[in-house]
């Protein structure tokens, strides 16, 4: 996942690399996702997460499009 | 058969080592820490790689990624707790302060425009974003609301090629 200053730079990068445009989130959306995704990563109790738990994190982050489906 | 209790302790050791030192432990260091032989430590590393707990460099026992931490320098530098970490990507640069539950200053390079941006994470929020030319602040972007992160692949394909993702 790469950082961009604007939509225009994303389009240029995709075109230059012959890639389809993916999903674009604001840095604040990704910060919200990060806090849910990584909150317990340093714990000895963290053993990964289930598909349902992953879907729940995406849902709480407001990420509900098909792009975020297929959790596994 | 893998001893699952030891397996997850090894995962925790690798993450703690990253947090304490900014780099991953070698398989030798891990073997020594748990008083096991290197072959056993290597088997545990491979099992954790297969379970996506962390990721090894191809055909080695060197930890390349224990998300959000990177074992190699990247364009995403995170200063936190008096240390400087490297994150794997723009998401993981935010993941490091999230995982460590700490304030941080992030230095990252914007793709294509190549502009350096400094982000400050303070008290659980993105407090400030400053574009900089070298060490000279060039412009402020408030709390970074204009910055965007591009996810090139849908979630179902993230693990096809993690380095690209």
Q: Are A14 and A56 in contact (CB under 8 A)?
A: no
Residues B13 and B25 sit within 8 Å (Cβ to Cβ): yes
Q: Find, in chain A, the residue whose alpha carbon is nearest to that of B147.
A: A5
Instruction: Show the low-confidence residues of chain B (pLDDT under 50).
Output: 1
Q: What is the pTM (predicted TM-score) of this model?
A: 0.92
**Would residue B120 count as lying in a domain?**
yes
Residues B94 and B42 in one domain: no
Q: Look at residue B104 and give its three-state secondary structure.
A: strand
DSSP B123-141: TTEEEEEEEEETTEEEEE-
ipTM of the complex: 0.93
Q: Which residues of A touch B11 (CB under 8 A)?
A: 46-47
pLDDT, residue B129, reads 79
Instruction: For residue B90, give how far its alpha carbon lies from the nearest alpha carbon of chain A (Å).
Output: 5
Contact: A9, B113; criterion CB under 8 Å: yes
Q: How many domains does chain B have?
A: 2
B77 plus B117 within the same structural domain: yes
Of B64, B80, B108, which residue is a domain's last? B64
Residues B51 and B74 in one domain: no
Question: Looking at chain A from residue 2 to 31, which residues have their Cβ under 8 Å from any Cβ of chain B?
Answer: 2-7, 9-10, 12-13, 16, 19-28, 30-31
Gap between the Cα atoms of B14 and B66, Å rounded: 8
Best mutation target among A38, A39, A46, A48 (most B Cβ atoms within 10 Å) is A38
* Sheet order of strands, B69-70 included: B55-56, B63-66, B69-70
Q: Is the pLDDT of residue A40 over 60?
A: yes
pLDDT given for residue B158 in this prediction: 80
Please give the interface size between A and B, counted as residue pairs whose CB atoms are below 8 Å apart.
157
Does a structural domain hold residue B107? yes
Buried b (16+ CB within 10 A) or exposed e, A39-63: eebeeeebeeeeeeebbebbeebeb
Question: What distances in angstroms separate CA B42 from CA A50, B1, B9, B10, one per listed residue?
Answer: 26, 14, 14, 11
Q: Return the exposure string of B79-113: e unless at least 16 CB atoms fall within 10 Å of the residue's CB, then b.
A: bbbeeebbbbbbbbbbbbbbbbeebbbbbbbbbbb
What is the domain range of residue B127? 70-140
Give domain status of residue B165, yes or no. no
In chain A, residues with a C-beta closer than 8 Å to the C-beta of B53 are 47-48
Helices B27-34, B4-21: axis angle to 10 degrees equals 120
When pLDDT is cut at 50, 70 and 90, the band that residue A72 belongs to is: very low
Ramachandran sector of residue B7 (left: φ over 0; alpha: ψ -120 to 50; beta: rest): alpha
Torsion angles phi and psi, residue B74, rounded to 5: -140, -175
The vertex-B164 CA angle with B159 and B165, nearest 5°, equals 50
Measured CA to CA, the distance from residue B122 to residue B103 in angstroms comes to 5
Q: How far is B49 from chain A (nearest CA, A)?
A: 12
Q: B45 lies in a domain?
A: yes
Q: Chain B: residue nearest A21 by CA?
A: B152
Arithmetic mean of pLDDT over chain A: 92
Assign residue B9 the CATH number of its domain.
1.10.10.10
Q: Both B60 and B74 in a single domain? A: no
List CB contacts (< 8 A) between B112 and chain A.
4, 9-10, 12-13, 16
Residues B40 and B56 in one domain: yes
């Amino acid at each position: 996942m790469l950082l961009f200053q604007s939509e225009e730079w994303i389009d240029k990068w995709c075109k230059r690399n012959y890639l389809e445009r993916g999903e674009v989130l604001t840095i604040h959306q990704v910060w919200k996702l990060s806090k849910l995704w990584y909150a317990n990563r340093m714990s000895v109790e963290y053993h990964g997460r289930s598909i349902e738990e992953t879907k729940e994190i995406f849902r709480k982050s407001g990420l509900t499009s098909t792009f975020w489906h297929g959790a596994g | 058969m893998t001893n699952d209790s030891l397996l997850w302790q090894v995962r925790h050791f690798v993450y703690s080592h990253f947090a304490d030192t900014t780099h991953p432990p070698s398989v030798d260091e891990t073997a020594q820490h748990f008083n096991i032989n290197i072959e056993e430590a290597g088997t545990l590393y491979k099992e954790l790689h297969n379970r996506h707990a962390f990721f090894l460099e191809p055909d080695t026992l060197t930890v390349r990624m224990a998300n959000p931490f990177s074992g190699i320098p990247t364009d995403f530098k995170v200063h936190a707790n008096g240390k400087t970490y490297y994150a794997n990507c723009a998401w993981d640069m935010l993941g490091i302060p999230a995982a460590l539950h700490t304030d941080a200053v992030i230095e990252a390079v914007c793709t294509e425009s190549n502009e350096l941006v400094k982000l400050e994470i303070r008290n659980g929020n993105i407090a400030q974003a400053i574009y900089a030319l070298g060490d000279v602040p060039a412009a402020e972007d408030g709390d970074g609301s204009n910055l965007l992160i591009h996810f090139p692949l849908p979630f179902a394909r993230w693990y096809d090629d993690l380095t690209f993702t």
